């Protein structure tokens, strides 16, 4: 051992292949691939609903230690998922977070 911390790649942080991403998207209604990220826009009835969704997602994301890039304008929440540890590419961690967002959302 050299004394330096060794970096072990976690399977959840390994970039997915194009085929794996396509298979994951087949089960994620409304999600799409944009460059090296998974994206979706949620539209709620009000600003209050959008903020409620953001807070719920924040707790899930913190639990996973995986935080989305997102933007909120009034009742709309735009989500972009990629993994920094995988060079900004899509990983199983992004797919898992997208699935959690789908379970939390009450809009299409």
Hey, where are the domains in the chain? 30-104
Supply the pLDDT for residue 58: 96
- CA–CA distance, 66 with 81 (Å, rounded to integer): 9
Domain 30-104 has what CATH class? alpha beta
Supply the pLDDT for residue 62: 94
- CA–CA distance, 72 with 51 (Å, rounded to integer): 8
Three-class secondary structure of residue 6 per DSSP: coil
Task: Give the DSSP H or E segment for 32.
Answer: strand 32-34
Residues of the chain with pLDDT under 70: 1-11
Residue 42: closest CA among 12, 68, 16: 68
Handedness of CA 5, 6, 8, 9 (dihedral sign): positive
What's the pTM?
A: 0.86
Supply the pLDDT for residue 108: 73
């Amino acid at each position: 051992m050299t004394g330096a911390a060794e970096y072990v790649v976690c399977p959840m942080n390994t970039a997915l292949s194009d085929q794996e991403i396509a298979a994951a998207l087949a089960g994620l209604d409304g999600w799409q691939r944009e460059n090296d990220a998974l994206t979706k826009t949620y539209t709620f009835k009000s600003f209050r609903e959008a903020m409620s969704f953001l807070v719920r997602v924040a707790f899930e994301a913190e639990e996973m230690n995986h935080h989305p890039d997102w933007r909120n304008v009034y009742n709309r929440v735009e989500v972009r998922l990629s993994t920094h540890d995988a060079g900004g590419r899509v990983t199983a961690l992004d797919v898992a977070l997208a699935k959690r967002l789908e379970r939390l959302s009450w809009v299409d």
